Chain A
Amino acid sequence: EPEVTQTPSHQVTQMGQEVILRCVPISNHLYFYWYRQILGQKVEFLVSFYNNEISEKSEIFDDQFSVERPDGSNFTLKIRSTKLEDSAMYFCASKLNRGGNQPQHFGDGTRLSIL
């Protein structure tokens, strides 16, 4: 069964450094998402992306965050200048179309640790 893949599985970065998290969504999917889960807290929506632009973003997704689909397969999340509070598990998701009857499929996540 096709799946969403995320790399790396674990990223350790010094505070203030830039980090790029990578995702390969399911190949025929058109809608892409990033979520994060701080340890012990809920999974939180960050951003949705369709047709090469952001569809919706949460309050968490400030100017330090950006997303990009640089080619036909990858979908990336960049954090420009990382803070300690960015430490979390980051999940990428994709789905075929906008309707709710097409559920979002998630990757295994990237654990980001900021030192």
Chain B
Amino acid sequence: GEDVEQSLFLSVREGDSSVINCTYTDSSSTYLYWYKQEPGAGLQLLTYIFSNMDMKQDQRLTVLLNKKDKHLSLRIADTQTGDSAIYFCAESPSYNTDKLIFGTGTRLQVFP
């Protein structure tokens, strides 16, 4: 079945890079997304990548997709304390469905 997994926690020092990893099981995934959730807030779309792409860069964010290994990562350059949040990986499993399958979320804590 469809499953998306992430590590639960990541701590980094301000100014360092953060890399949040995600693995998924569905080989027919079409799009993969990264959402950010700050305390008490909703799910904010950060970026997304089509499954036939390997990489996408958007300012401080770099998404890498290894479709063979079903591995997705989000790199945040020059991490700031304002980046502290929970980051969710999500996949759109196939062209036949519109639902999103979410990972467990990775809590990123940035220390000054």
Contact = CB atoms under 8 A, between A and B. Distances in A.
Find the residue from A44, A45, A93, A100 having the highest chain B CB count within 10 A: A100
Contact of B100 (A6, A104, A107): A104
A101 B31 contact: yes
Interface residues of A, number: 25
Find the residue from A4, A35, A58, A104 having the highest chain B CB count within 10 A: A104
Given A45-B99, A109-B42, A100 B92 contact: yes
Nearest to A41: B104
A48 B99 contact: yes
Interface of A: 4, 6, 31, 33, 35, 42-45, 48, 55-56, 58, 91, 93, 98, 100-101, 103-109
Interface of B: 4, 30-31, 33, 35, 40-45, 48, 50, 88, 90, 92, 97-105
